[in-house]
Structures are given as structure tokens and as C-alpha cells.
Amino acid sequence: MVGSGNELDAPLHSDEDYCSLSPSPLVTEGNMHDELYNRLQQSVEDAEISRREAYEESMKHRKAVKEAIEAARWARASEARYSEEFRLRKEVEEALVKHKEEIENMQYQLDEIKNKLQVAMEQKSSLESQIATSDKTVEDLKQKMFAAIDLLQKFKIEKDNLQVERDNAVREAEELKIKQAEEASSASMSCFFSEYSICEINEATHNFDQELKIGEGGYGSVYKGHLHHTQVAIKVLHQHSSQGPLEFQQEVGILSTLRHPNIVTLIGACRETCSLIYEYLPNGSLEDRLSCKDNTPPLSWQTRIRIASELCSALIFLHSCSPRGIIHGDLKPANILLDNNFVSKLCDFGMCRVLGEDKFSDNNTSLCCRTDHPKGTLAYIDPEYLATGELTTKSDVYSFGIILLRLLTGKPALGIYKEVENALNKGNLKDILDSTAGDWPFVQAQQLVHLAMRSCEMSRKTRPELASEIWRVLEPMRASCGACCSRLIFEEESQMPSYFICPIFQEVMQDPVVAADGYTYEAEALKGWLDSDHDTSPMTNLKLAHRNLVQNHALRSAIQEWLQKR
């Protein structure tokens, strides 16, 4: 659009008007052309101007659109950056909060550490003070100790001098004792040991009459006979056996020099027949009595305890013989004989050994005998002897333990240790005791069972000593059993009241006391019961209210009066 357009849209004038206005038609027409041309030219210019304006406007519009697009893109980028910055700011704030909490915790811990440090410093100061005091005390004690050491050294010198004097005196006494023993042994051999001829042996045994045979084993046969109007037992060793002559020489060499009330007496020997003549013991062996052979009555518990103590006494005697001890090596009930009064006597010394210092054992000072072929009865033989070939005094202790278990239970030797151990673990000690022996005193039976179990330990180091441990238990029991036997006989004759008898020892009470359960016991017996960690009544098995004991003076007076009247 050029110009305002009013001139183009105006109506054309008539010819008359042109004629009247223009003096000349040509002049008028020429003017019109100029005017139109001018108008046209003006319109073209206006159009050009409008076109340029429109182009400029279009360029501005494009620029505005481009700027709008850039603005939108920048706005979106700004929004994304804002979101990222917001997220990062949130994370930073959370991290700051967490860091602040950690700082607070660290501050709390630091405060605690400061408090502890302060306490520690106070304790350190106190300890330093105590250490200073202790150092002073230690210094004083050192001075006293040095003085005591000086005094001790003086005493030690005096003790060493006294020890030397004592050793010299003991050595002289031992030499004198050995000399006296040798003299006594020589005298006893000439007085008690005799050599017999083959004719005397044949006459005594009626030419080895089978009816006179009272025993037989791997070693030979035993006959009953009479020599010089004395009843004897004659053991004839197998001459064809390689061990026969050796056992004969060994028994003669040892038994001819030994005399002990519980070791069988060797009266003499006949070298031609390899015969050994012993005193005759009519009640056979302990094995026969435990098995009640030929319907013989069972041994009482008093007799069994006495036999155990007698066997212990014989072993102590053998082990302490001078100049060197003797190990029996084959202890078993079959080798324990009983006389008319059931006094036991140890026999069969064919496997015994003389003690010597063992140069091959772990302990160079131990005394033992070594062999590559251990012998003995399997159920009674020491397991360590079987394993190592070393026969020691503790080997006899093991066999003694098995025999003691047999005396207590009456059961066979094989497997007896495990059977008694199971009974002890189950608390069934009374059930395992041999009831045919009578009413065992529980405390004494319990002591003996534990003593026997210790004696049967697999390791010989843990087995008790005969003299210092086993004899200390058996010797008082033997004394009480002897007194008990005589009192029981007297009871039958005099009808002694039953309440005079201690429920534990089963003998007349000498010092009766009343316990918390209301029953009266012998003071020594009840103290032994309580000292064995028992807190229950021996009669009712109920727990005792207290451990106080009250003297029963009335019963004691009654017992003394009764004893005086008998």
C-alpha cells in the first residue's frame, strides 16, 4: 500500500471541467500524465519503503522468535541448573547436619575421655603415692630378707653338718642291721631249713599217692604228707620243665631266709625230686574260700579285712627286705593259703624277683626288674608290666587291688574293675558288696573300695604306697575287726544289747555321741563319715540339720557297767 490512497479513489472530473479549468486540452493532458507519473513513482517509493519496512519487520520478528527460542532454551537450562543446584544444596545440608551430629558425638566422647583422663590422672597420682610407699616397704623388706638369708645360711650350714652326722649314724645302723640280719638268717637256716632225701619224700607221700594230692598246676603237684610226725605240704615241681629247676632254686634261696607270720614257712627241700616242703595249712587257698569250694561257709567281712591287712603286711615286709627288696610278681587268691584260724600266708615265690636299679627306665633312681617275657595270671598282672617288661613294687600293688576288690565283692577277677567302677558311678556301692560276708560297715567298705580302685590304676605312678597309704587304712580296721570278732562272740554268750553297737563300725562303742539325726554312733566313726564329705545321716540317708555332736554319757556309763559285769 502506497500513500493514503485518497487521490486514486477520487472521482474523475468531466471534460467541461477540464475545459474550463485548462485553457488547452494538450496542456491539461500532459499535466495529468506528470501528475500520475509522480503519483505512481510516489506509490512505488512508498511500496519500496513498505517492503523494506515489512522486511525489517520480518527480520525483527525472526530475531524475536530466535531470541524467544534461545530464551526458552536458556530458561530450561536454568531450570535444570536450578534443580541440580537445589539437589546439591539439599545433599550439602544433609551432609552438614550429619557432620554436625558427628562433631557433637565426638565432642561428647572427648568430654568423656577428658573425664576419664582426669580420673586416671588422679588414680595415677594415688598409685604413684602408693608405689612410693611400697618401694619404701620393699626396701625395708629387702633389708630384713638379707638378714634372714644370712641367718638361713648359718642354719643351713648347721643343718648340713647335722645331716652328715645323721647320715653317718644311719649308715652305721644299716650296716649293723644288715650284719644282724645276715647272722639271724644264717641261724634261721640252720634251725628251720632241712634237706630231705628222696626216700623220706616217697614215704611222706606214700609214693605220691593220688589220694594225697591236694593241688595241681602248671608248676607241678602238691601232696599232703607227714614228715617226722609233722603234717606238711609237699610241692613237687615238674622236672622236665625248663623253669622247674630255676623256680626250685629261687624259692629255696628266698624262702629259706624269710620268716614272717603271713608268709608260708619253708621247712625243707629235696633236690633230687625238686620238692619243696611247707607247713600244712588246712583251710586251703583264699580262692577256694571265695568260691566256697566243697560247700564251705563264706568268709565274714571281718575275716576278709584281716586277710587284706595281713597280705599288706607281708608285701611291706618283702619290699623292704635288706639288702634289696623282693617283688612277689604273682599275687592272686590261689597263692594265699589259710591256716586253722583263717590266718593268711603268702606262698609260691617261683616268679618273685629281687629289686635292682633299672638303668633303662625314665627314672634312673627307680628300682625294678626287667624281662622280655612277662609272666603271671592275666586278671591280676600289672598292665604296665605287660607293656614295658618292668616289674616294680607297684606291680604287686596292682595285684593287691584286684584281690581286695574280690574280697569286697566276691566276684571273679576278670572285668571286676569296670563292674565296681560302674557301680560307684551309679551310687550302687551296697549292691556290689558280697552280701554273704555279712553286713559290711558302709564307711569302712567305701574306704576299702576307693583304696582298691586307686591300687588298680593303669598308671603305676598314681597307685598308692603300701606302707604310707594302704597300711594306714587297713591297720586300724584290722584292730577293730579283731576286737569286733571277740565282742561278737561275747555277744552271743552274754546277749549284749544291740544299741551298744555302733551302726558304722559294728562294734561296741567306747565314745558314743548323738548326731543331728537322733542316732548314737562311735565318735571316731561319725567323724570319719563327716570328714568324707558326707552331709547325710548314715542311718536314714537324710540331710543332717547340723554337724554338732553331743556326748551320750548315759549310754557310755551303761556300756562301761556292762563291760565290767561280763
Q: List, in order, residues 6 or more apart from 273 with CB less than 8 Å away.
A: 198, 201, 236, 239
Long-range CB pairs of 520-526 (<8 Å, 24+ gap) are 520/552, 520/555, 523/549, 525/441, 525/443
Who contacts 395 (Cβ-Cβ below 8 Å, separation ≥6)? 327, 329, 381, 382, 384, 385, 460
Residue 509 DSSP code: -
Q: Is 330 a catalytic residue?
A: yes
Burial grade of 513 (CB within 10 A; 0-12, 13-18, 19 or more): buried
CA atoms within 13 A on the CB side of 185: 15
Q: Which residue has the cell 563292674?
A: 419
CB 194 within 8 A of CB 338: no
Which CATH number, 2.40.50.140, 3.40.1160.10, 3.30.200.20, 3.65.10.10, labels domain 191-280? Answer: 3.30.200.20
At 106, which amino acid appears? M
Task: Assess contact for 538 and 518: CB atoms under 8 A.
Answer: no
Report angle CA 451, 457, 463 to the nearest 5 degrees. 60
Kindly provide the residue ranges of all beta strands, DSSP E only, lying in 102-212, ordered along the sequence.
194-195
* Cα(522)–Cα(484) distance, integer angstroms: 13
C-alpha grid cell, residue 551? 556326748
Grid cell in block for residue 476: 586300724
Count of CB atoms within 10 A of residue 271's CB?
A: 14
For 14, the grid coordinates are 468531466
Q: What does the DSSP 8-state code read for residue 207?
A: T
Report the alpha-carbon distance of residue 254 to residue 354 in Å, rounded: 9
pLDDT, residue 4, reads: 42
Helices assigned H by DSSP within 193-209: 198-204
**What per-residue confidence (pLDDT) applies to 450?**
95
What are the grid coordinates assigned to 443, written together? 564307711
Q: 566422647: which residue's cell?
A: 109
Cell numbers 652328715 correspond to: 164
| Tally of CA atoms within 13 A in the half-sphere of 125 that contains its CB | 5
Alpha helices by DSSP H, 241-300: 244-255, 286-290
Instruction: Enter the DSSP assignment of 469.
Output: I
- Residue entry with cell 609272666: 375
Residue-level pLDDT at 566: 60
Lookup: cell for 368: 625294678
Distance CA 374, CA 383 (A): 10
Each of the 566 residues of the chain gets a pLDDT tens digit; together they read: 434 444 444 444 444 444 444 456 666 777 888 888 888 888 888 888 988 888 888 888 888 889 889 888 998 888 888 989 899 999 999 999 999 999 999 999 999 999 999 999 999 989 998 999 988 998 998 999 998 898 988 988 988 888 888 888 877 876 776 666 555 444 444 444 678 889 998 998 899 889 988 888 767 889 999 887 778 899 988 766 655 677 788 788 888 777 788 999 888 888 888 889 998 898 999 999 999 988 889 999 999 999 999 999 999 999 988 777 899 989 999 999 998 889 999 998 878 888 764 433 444 335 667 776 778 888 999 999 888 888 899 999 999 999 999 999 999 999 999 999 999 999 898 999 999 999 999 889 999 999 999 999 999 999 999 988 999 999 888 877 755 554 444 444 445 677 788 888 778 888 888 888 878 889 888 888 888 878 888 877 788 888 888 888 767 777 877 776 66
Phi, psi torsion values for 214, nearest 5 degrees: -115, 0
Going 360 to 366 to 367 to 370, the CA torsion angle's sign is negative
Q: What's the one-letter identity of residue 157?
A: I
Looking at residue 487, its pLDDT comes to 47
pTM above 0.75, yes or no: no
Q: Are 346 and 336 in contact (CB under 8 A)?
A: yes
Compute the distance between CA of residue 295 and CA of residue 518 in angstroms, rounded to an integer. 42
Return the CATH superfamily for domain 284-358+366-488. Answer: Transferase(Phosphotransferase) domain 1 (1.10.510.10)
- Beta-strand relationship, 230-237 and 220-227: antiparallel
In whole angstroms, give the CA distance from residue 311 to residue 262: 7
516 C-beta neighbours (distance < 10 Å), count: 15
Distance of CA 43 to the CA centre of its chain: 132
- Report the sign of the C-alpha dihedral through residues 98, 102, 103, 108, in that order: positive
235 known member of a binding site? yes
Q: Which of 17, 330, 396, 431 is catalytic?
A: 330
Element housing 550 (H / E)? strand 550-551
d(CA 323, CA 320): 8
Number of residues in the chain: 566
The SS3 call for residue 365 is: coil
The Cα–Cα gap between 406 and 51 comes to 144
Considering the domain 498-565, what is its CATH architecture?
2-Layer Sandwich (3.30)
